């Protein structure tokens, strides 16, 4: 590995901590990111001559913090902060590495709560979180979400401006505000994972890199907030879901249905991590979904799946977060526990839901039920309708294949 590659690798791992530590000084995530980038440039200039330091992350952190202190001292607009913060910083120069790991953890918490502030649109929260916490470049985020790079760049710039304009404090909120913001943080991580797990459009069904980023963020958050059951619930859910990713597509990239997946290839280490996280989970929506995913993970064969328990868990989930999509998933579980005849009225009742009007899984599920009920012509029409609605090429091919076999 070249020195430049080593610098980039260390920065990718440490960038969130560096930005978080600097943001605590300058109180602005945009400026903190620029100073972290300055430290990266300094490393690229110096390390080829001096060699990679023993603690490269600490070197980058100290360099970025020193520049933050210089900035605070120089700028008149930071005069008040100089008075409040600068004296302390002057008396105690930044250590070569964090003296208190818990202090850095607090900084990371502040960073993720800031990046996921409700003042930002969901797309902006996702982009900013991946940039600041995941260390992804603008090009990588654009590629992951199949968006033009200039669009993503503008989204990130506007997000940072919006945070500054709104005067969003660099802090972990408390009370009801914390609950609201934590929900936003969990939602962003879940959305990132879902986009990787089932891409909404494009040729590939799965984007493992996105799943890995979301899983890493969930693990970090679980480590930072060990007393929050729903954080562990989300972590458990993602561990279980991630354990099956390798079997969700075949060698040609075609989707493989859950019933046909080779369970011997499910990642047992991730399942074990999911079970451990589930033990610390609570009773909220992510925890219930994790329990459902845990039921699937526990079944050695598809035929061994405890569908009655899964259907009961979906009953609980519907009460917690009532939505047409959850109702549709519950109908699938009911069909497996009590037969397709019991589930078909539940699916038909969802046909008028505006939220599902363009949702390809509604006709897909209905087609599956009709096929199992021995009504092939109606099932074929439903699969064809589902294929016309999906924007993912792999899913479209799967649905058209099912229609063609009837």
Please say if the pLDDT value at position 278 is more than 80: yes
Distance CA 77, CA 75 (A): 5
On whether residue 72 sits in a domain, the answer given is yes
Q: Has residue 366 got a pLDDT over 60?
A: yes
Alpha helices, DSSP H only, in 145-198?
A: 149-166, 175-197
Task: Judge whether residue 321 has pLDDT over 80.
Answer: yes
- Residue 52 maps to a domain: yes
CB neighbours (10 Å) of residue 238?
32
Taking each helix axis from N to C end, the angle separating 361-372 and 340-348, rounded to the nearest 10 degrees, works out to 150
Only one residue has tokens 């075949």, namely 250
CATH number, position 74: 1.10.1740
Q: In the predicted model, is pLDDT for residue 4 greater than 50?
A: yes
Q: pLDDT category, 240, cuts 50, 70, 90?
A: very high
Q: Does the structure show a pLDDT above 50 at 268?
A: yes
Answer whether 0.85 is exceeded by the pTM. Answer: no
Residue written as tokens 């890995």?
A: 212
| 8 assigned to some structural domain | no
- Cβ atoms of 67 and 38 closer than 8 Å: yes
Tell me what the pLDDT averaged over the chain comes to.
87
Q: Has residue 259 been placed in a domain?
A: no
Percent of the chain as helix, strand, coil, to the nearest 5: 75, 0, 25
CA–CA distance, 123 with 93 (Å, rounded to integer): 38
Strand 391-392 versus strand 201-202 pairing type: parallel
In this prediction, residue 108 carries a pLDDT of 83
pLDDT tier at 90, thresholds 50, 70, 90: low
The residues, any chain, with a CB within 8 Å of residue 250's CB and separated by 6 or more, are 256
Cβ-based burial of 120 (10 A; exposed 0-12, middle 13-18, buried ≥19): buried
Total domain count, the chain: 1
In a domain, 326, yes or no: no
Let me know if residue 270 belongs to a domain. no
In a domain, residue 76? The reply is yes
Domain of residue 62, residue span? 16-85
Does residue 248 lie within any of the structural domains?
Answer: no
Q: Given pLDDT bands bounded at 50, 70 and 90, which one contains residue 100?
A: very low
pLDDT at residue 227 above 80?
yes
Q: Does the pLDDT at position 134 exceed 70?
A: yes
Nearest to 204 by CA among 402, 401, 392: 392
pLDDT in the model for residue 17: 87
- Lowest-confidence range among 95-99, 144-148, 342-346? 95-99
């Amino acid at each position: 590995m070249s020195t430049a590659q080593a610098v980039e690798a260390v920065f990718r791992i440490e960038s969130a901590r560096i930005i978080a530590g600097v943001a605590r000084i300058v109180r602005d995530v945009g400026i903190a990111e620029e100073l972290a980038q300055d430290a990266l440039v300094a490393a690229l200039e110096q390390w080829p001559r001096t060699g990679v330091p023993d603690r490269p992350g600490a070197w980058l952190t100290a360099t970025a913090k020193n520049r933050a202190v210089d900035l605070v001292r120089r700028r008149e607009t930071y005069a008040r902060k100089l008075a409040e913060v600068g004296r302390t910083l002057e008396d105690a120069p930044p250590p070569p590495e964090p003296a208190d790991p818990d202090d850095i953890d607090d900084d990371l918490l502040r960073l993720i709560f800031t990046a996921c502030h409700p003042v930002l649109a969901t797309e902006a929260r996702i982009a900013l979180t991946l940039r600041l916490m995941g260390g992804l470049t603008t090009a990588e985020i654009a590629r992951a979400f199949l968006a033009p790079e200039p669009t993503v760049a503008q989204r990130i710039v506007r997000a940072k401006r919006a945070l500054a304009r709104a005067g969003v404090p660099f802090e972990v909120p408390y009370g009801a505000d914390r609950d609201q913001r934590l929900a936003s943080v969990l939602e962003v991580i879940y959305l990132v994972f879902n986009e990787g797990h089932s891409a909404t459009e494009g040729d590939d069904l799965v984007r493992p890199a996105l799943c890995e980023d979301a899983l890493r963020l969930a693990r970090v958050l679980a480590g930072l907030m060990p007393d929050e059951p729903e954080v562990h619930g989300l972590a458990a859910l993602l561990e279980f879901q991630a354990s099956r990713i390798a079997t969700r597509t075949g060698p040609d990239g075609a989707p493989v249905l859950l019933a046909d997946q080779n369970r011997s290839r499910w990642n047992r280490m991730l399942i074990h991590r999911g079970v451990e996280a589930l033990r610390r989970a609570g009773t909220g929506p992510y925890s219930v979904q994790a329990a459902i995913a845990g039921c699937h993970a526990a079944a050695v064969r598809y035929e061994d799946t405890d569908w009655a328990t899964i259907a009961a868990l979906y009953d609980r989930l519907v009460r917690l977060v009532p939505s047409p999509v959850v109702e549709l998933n519950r109908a699938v579980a009911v069909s497996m526990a009590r037969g397709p005849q019991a589930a078909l009225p539940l699916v038909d009742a969802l046909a008028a839901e505006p939220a599902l009007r363009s949702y390809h899984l509604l006709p897909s599920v209905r087609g599956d039920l009709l096929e199992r009920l021995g009504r092939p012509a109606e099932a074929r029409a439903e699969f064809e309708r589902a294929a016309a609605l999906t924007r993912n090429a792999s899913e479209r091919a799967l649905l058209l294949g099912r229609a063609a076999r009837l």
